[in-house]
Amino acid sequence: MKELLVTGGAGFIGANFVRYVVAYQPDVHVTVLDKLTYAGNRANLAGLPAERVTLVVGDIADAVVVDRLVRDADAVVNYAAESHNDRSLLDPSPFMQTNIVGTYTLLQACRQYGVRFHQISTDEVYGDLPLRQDLPGHGEGAGEKFTPQSRYNPSSPYSASKASADMLVRAWVRSFGLKATISNCSNNYGPYQYVEKFIPRQITNILSHRRPKLYGAGVNVRDWIHVDDHSRAVWTILTRGKLGETYLIGANGEHSNREVLGHILKLMGQPADAFDYVHDRPGHDVRYAIDASYLQQSLGWQPRVTDFTAGLRQTIAWYRAHEAWWRGDKDRVEAGYRETGQ
């Protein structure tokens, strides 16, 4: 593989993946196709050598630009998406357009030119799970985590749009023989994550003398993975995955939101009660949990960042050191949250 097209490569996870490829795959040139929405940022690719990475500003739903770029690519990895649940509840429309029509546009081009395609998806397509304490196997029994066999059952406009895109990929594989794989990953954290998301929002709240905000009672559980482990898993699947297959990516990182906030407060030297409870998210998924054993056993991938507190400490240090990166967006994001009482 010489020429890789990474859509959404100026966003959080896409940019980390581009950095991973530049660092570890010296023979690969990356073209990033990114619309630079509010979540996309040229600065996420700053410092990368110009001969290794080319940024094209454009829309994955624009068939003309997609056709031109896919024609010259050996593979496409689709990270481009509207990605924030809260925004999808306020205005679903860009989620339908980018996540569904955009994916369709990429699939058609890959089909036409016989190009390998990998879809970046989410565990949220499976809906949610009961809390561990409400399950007979306390979260470790059969069916108590998501597996590639779990039924699609999305809850929000965002997750429904991602589920729709996955269904399109599966249909293109079966009907047109598209050379494609899908990965459904759990919640990512790490550098370059936009300040609207849970972990960077709380870190930057503390750094800008605001109180952290916990939705509802803070009991909802997310399964956290460091973005570098996600990138390595995607590269593994892209290069060694079985065509037509779905892989679940996760790092056994289940924590309630209250626990995560507790770690952040402690690591940042704040009192344990220095936060506010705010309005819950409508339809808020209760618990996500990934069983990644298929990926581990079939392709030998394992997470490396297994100490969540150490990963959080490193992430906090990054936000401290990169205030210029997030400061400009912070007031606007918080003004938006104030309107919904969050």
> Which of the residues 253 through 312 are near ligand NAD (CB under 6 A)?
none
As to burial, measured by CB atoms within 10 angstroms (0-12 exposed, 13-18 middle, 19+ buried), residue 102 is buried
- Alpha carbon distances (Å) from 112 to 8, 102, 177, 179, 192: 21, 16, 11, 12, 34
Residue 40 in contact with ligand NAD, rule: CB under 6 A: yes
DSSP annotation of 33 reads E
Q: How far is the CB of 25 from ligand TDX (least distance, A)?
A: 25
φ, ψ of residue 298 in degrees (nearest 5): -80, -35
Question: Given the rule CB under 6 A, which of 27-35, 67-75, 263-271, 287-295 is the region that contacts ligand NAD?
Answer: 27-35
Query: Does the protein bind ligand NAD through residue 250 (CB under 6 A)?
Result: no
CA separation for the pair 303, 76 (Å, rounded):
24
List residues with catalytic annotation.
123-124, 158
Give residues 97-126 in contact with ligand TDX (rule: CB under 6 A). Answer: 122, 124
Residues 6+ apart with CB under 8 A from 55: 9, 10, 31, 32, 34, 42, 45
How far apart (Å, rounded) are the C-alpha atoms in residues 227 and 188? 5
- The partner in contact with residue 79, picked from ligand NAD, ligand TDX, none with C-beta cut-offs of 5 to 8 angstroms by kind, is ligand NAD
Q: Is 34 in the site for ligand NAD (CB under 6 A)?
A: yes
Helix (H) or strand (E) holding 276: strand 276-278
Q: Is 83 in the site for ligand TDX (CB under 6 A)?
A: yes
Tell me the window of 6-14, 172-180, 233-241, 323-331 that interacts with ligand NAD (CB under 6 A): 6-14
Q: Are strands 187-189 and 53-57 parallel, antiparallel or unpaired?
A: unpaired
Question: Which stretch in 33-41, 134-142, 317-325, 327-335 sits in contact with ligand NAD by CB under 6 A?
Answer: 33-41
- Angular region, 78: left φ>0, alpha ψ -120 to 50, beta rest: beta
Q: Which string of x and - marks every residue 235-274 that binds ligand TDX (by CB under 6 A)?
A: ----------------------x-----------------
Among 195, 214, 290, 312, binds ligand TDX (CB under 6 A): 214
Dihedral sign for Cα atoms in the order 34, 35, 38, 41: positive
Residues that bind ligand NAD (CB under 6 A): 7-8, 10-14, 33-37, 39-40, 59-61, 79-83, 98, 102, 120, 122, 162, 185, 187-188, 194
Residues that bind ligand TDX (CB under 6 A): 83-85, 122, 124, 187, 197-198, 201, 213-215, 220, 222, 257, 281
